[in-house]
Amino acid sequence: MLQKTLLHSLLLFFLFSCGLFSQTRSIWLNGSPQLMNISYNPSQNAAAKVEGSPFLTDQFQPGQLVFKENNEVVKDLAFRLDLATGFMQFIFRGDTFVISNPNKIAEITYGSRRFYYLIGFIGKDSPSPGFFELLTDGKVQLMMLRRKAPFKDEYVKSYMGGGGSGRYYYSYQEDLYLRKGDDVPRKLVKRKRVLLKMLPDKQPEIKEFMKSNRLSARKIADIKKIIDFYNSL
């Protein structure tokens, strides 16, 4: 816990030193429980030096959030997700904020998307926190965690010299996770063997379903069909 808090503090220090966030303050949303936020200033965005967009959707989209406390719903907000920082941004009374304590939020929906802030696991001991988008609901949930990171376009230097443009652009990564009930999400490698291992109680039925419908464990659309089938059993 101490290590995680220290890493979070170092991240915030870096963001402030880059001029990404301008101030910290608390606000209340229409009389709801207190929500801590960090004011965001797009004109000081250090990511402007990176080609491409860090956001899942560039435009803010109307949506709502639900607090864990009393399941209180706050509507008439607009959201967009910054995949480079992992922060969910929203507009409130003309100002743009980020949610700095997402653990207070039960879920956020905007457009046709629904997000949960969770700590997923890659294997047994590698936590991966973030806003997970729900792709398929049921006793087993299929979720996706997306990331963007700056990447420099250059070749490895050798005796013949280096190469590349030297520019920075965003590399994109998306990972699938399975979540059973209230358990933590666990990363799903897109392989048939891995998928069957994560759903051991219905392996014969899933194998037959995949075979008869010519489904692949490497395609997201097919995996959604498989999870929907599993949830129907």
Cβ neighbour number for residue 199 with a 10 Å cutoff = 19
Could you tell me if 82 and 151 lie in one domain?
Answer: yes
CA distance 161 to 93: 53
Hey, what are 43's tokens? Answer: 């004109």
Full domain range(s) for residue 92 = 2-188
96 and 32 assigned to the same domain = yes
**167-202 pLDDT per residue, tens:** 888 899 999 999 999 999 999 999 999 999 999 999
Distance CA 177, CA 194 (A): 12
Q: Are residues 176 and 194 in the same domain?
A: no
Q: How far apart are CA 13 and CA 16, in angstroms?
A: 5
The count of structural domains within the chain is 2
174 and 65 within one domain:
yes
CA dihedral of residues 52, 14, 186, 190 (deg, nearest 10): 30
* Residue predicted with more confidence, 120 or 24: 120
| pLDDT for 43 | 39
Mean pLDDT value across residues 44-73? 83
Q: How far apart (Å, rounded) are the C-alpha atoms in residues 226 and 196?
A: 10
Q: How far is CA 80 from CA 2, 83, 117, 153, in A?
A: 30, 9, 14, 27
Is the predicted pLDDT of residue 71 greater than 90, yes or no? no
* d(C-alpha 40, C-alpha 94), whole Å: 12
173 and 150 within one domain: yes
141 plus 173 within the same structural domain: yes
What percentage of residues in the chain have a pLDDT greater than 90?
A: 52
Shared-domain flag, residues 18 and 111:
yes
Same-domain pairing of 217 and 162: no
Residue 157 contacts by C-beta under 8 Å, 6 or more apart in sequence? Answer: none
Query: Which pLDDT value is given to residue 3?
Result: 38
Same domain, 223 and 184: no
**Model confidence at 12: pLDDT above 50:** no
Domain boundary among 155, 170, 188: 188
* Same-domain pairing of 122 and 202: no
Note whether 145 and 168 are same-domain residues: yes
Query: Over pLDDT 70: what percentage of the chain?
Result: 74
What CA–CA distances, in Å, run from 141 to 68, 126, 134, 181, 221?
19, 20, 7, 8, 14
- Tell me: do 53 and 136 sit in the same domain: yes
pLDDT band at 49 (very low <50, low <70, confident <90, very high): confident
Encoded tokens for 106:
């039960």
pLDDT digits (tens, 9 = 90+) for 106-161: 999 999 999 999 999 987 678 889 999 999 999 999 999 999 998 877 765 555 55
In this predicted structure, the answer to whether residue 25 has a pLDDT above a threshold of 70 is: no
